[in-house]
Amino acid sequence: MKQFNTSKALQRLPDQFFATMIDKLDLYKERGYDTVNLGQGNPDQPTPDHIVDSLKEAAENPVYHQYPPFHGFDFFKEAVAEFYKREYDVTLDPKTEVAIMPGSKTGLVELSQCFLDPGDIALVPDPGYPDYWSGIEMVGAEMKSMPLREENQFLPNYEEIDSESWEKAKLMFLNYPNNPTGAIADAAFFEKTIEEAEKHDVCVVHDFAYGAIGFDGTKPLSFMQMEGAKNVGVEVYTMSKTYNMAGWRVAFAVGNPSVIQALEVIQDHYFCSIFGGLQKASATALLSSQQCVTNLAETYEKRRDLLVGGLQEAGYHVAPCKGSFFAWLRVPEGFTSQGFADELLEETGLFVAPGIGFGKHGEGYVRIGLNNSEENLRDALRRFKAFAEK
């Protein structure tokens, strides 16, 4: 069969880390392994009933059977603005400071396409979400790693970025609560970020995917809460984690109007917004009682206490887990992150994500998901302890 050559942009793309991981897990399942999947960031609980009911009702409305407005329905953008005012005391203009997106992953890739050219630099957290890399590679730009180290609470040290990189940098990606480390950011760090962004004319993209999941009585800060944040960038929020709506593919960006406008321009060429019923149900989620969100965060905190406490008792070192639904475990001495993950899967059926898949500074760690039942986590703990004893 004739083989057609793909574009240079497609050839530049890195392997999709998560797709490769799941292929490996499926292979072990086919071999008959009794596996526990701790490697994915896929919420394990259903979408709350009131949101599902809203979608059912909206699906019967003929208004939503037609193409939606290119930039989304006004009622959804207004719900986003009301959500940010209620939760973070941030005032947004729904017409100019909110963009609707089919999932945050899409928007994060699009932002690189909007603002980077070949030779430009994007400042990227390392370890970090691998799909930041995809958009950067698509446009032929370069990445400058910002190491996240445990001794610095997994926050980048801007003093480590050389002047030439600052000169060429156009975008900076940040993500707190952090995937994969579970770290959170404080106001002082965000204030420093705004100062550097202003100084070097860099657009900040804060990935707030886990914004609803904070532990020990701490509510994660929105970047938009900081004075001057809207002037230097945007925040990307997804319905996936807050409301267990991962399969619904609904997200939004808020902040700087010029960045919002650019996102809407590129999406004019990719999409005709998202199904109106999804927008209606998402607005319902944002405007209704948030007790389901509170309950969800409490569930993840209980799971964190169970898993992290048990791992520490078994002699493992786990980095402080202050938010998100991940724990960041340091691999035992003598292992690489990939080697530990492979041997753990082979010997115990436990599937974890090797830190090297999140960047070179992820070496020495593996990511463990809290998106499993307490029963599964207790089972995982037994296997971790057996592995440690062996």
pLDDT for 23 beyond 90:
no
SS3 205: strand
Cis peptide before 147 (omega within 30 of 0): no
- Looking at residues 64-72, what average pLDDT do you find? 94
Q: How many CB atoms lie within 10 A of CB 164?
A: 10
Cα atoms in the 13 Å half-sphere on the side-chain side of 166: 14
Q: Could you report the per-residue pLDDT of 158-190, keeping only the tens digit for each? A: 999 999 999 999 999 999 999 999 999 999 999
pLDDT for 20 beyond 90:
no
Label residue 370 by pLDDT band (50, 70, 90): very high
- Structure-token pair, residue 67: 């193409």
Q: Could you report the per-residue pLDDT of 31-53, keeping only the tens digit for each? A: 777 888 898 888 999 999 999 99
Q: Could you report the per-residue pLDDT of 252-263, keeping only the tens digit for each? A: 999 999 999 999
pLDDT at 17: 65
Q: Could you report the per-residue pLDDT of 189-217, keeping only the tens digit for each? A: 999 999 999 999 999 999 999 999 999 99
- Structure-token pair, residue 141: 């730009």
Q: How far apart are CA 388 and CA 184, in angstroms?
A: 29
Q: Could you report the per-residue pLDDT of 344-363, keeping only the tens digit for each? A: 999 999 999 999 999 999 99
Residue 268 backbone dihedrals phi, psi, to 5 degrees: -60, -30
Q: Is 207 exposed, middle or buried (0-12, 13-18, 19+ CB in 10 A)?
A: buried
pLDDT at 19: 67
Cα atoms in the 13 Å half-sphere on the side-chain side of 386: 13
pLDDT at 18: 66
Q: How far apart are CA 106 and CA 138, in angstroms?
A: 13
- Looking at residues 304-313, what average pLDDT do you find? 96
Percent of residues, the chain, with pLDDT higher than 90? 87
Domains along the chain with CATH numbers:
8-46+292-389 (3.90.1150.10), 63-287 (3.40.640.10)
Q: How far apart are CA 61 and CA 63, in angstroms?
A: 5
Q: Is 346 exposed, middle or buried (0-12, 13-18, 19+ CB in 10 A)?
A: exposed
Label residue 86 by pLDDT band (50, 70, 90): very high
The CA-CA-CA angle for residues 294, 297, 300, to 5°, reads 150
Handedness of CA 114, 117, 123, 126 (dihedral sign): positive
Cα atoms in the 13 Å half-sphere on the side-chain side of 128: 24
Q: Could you report the per-residue pLDDT of 269-293, keeping only the tens digit for each? A: 998 899 999 999 999 999 999 999 9
Query: Which DSSP symbol is given to 114?
Result: H
Predicted TM-score of the model (pTM) = 0.95
Strand partners, 379: none
Alpha carbon 143 to its chain's center: 18
Label residue 9 by pLDDT band (50, 70, 90): confident
Query: Which DSSP symbol is given to 160?
Result: G
End-to-end Cα, the chain, rounded Å: 50
Mean pLDDT, the chain, whole residue set: 94
Q: Could you report the per-residue pLDDT of 98-147, keeping only the tens digit for each? A: 999 999 999 999 999 999 999 999 999 999 998 999 999 999 999 999 99
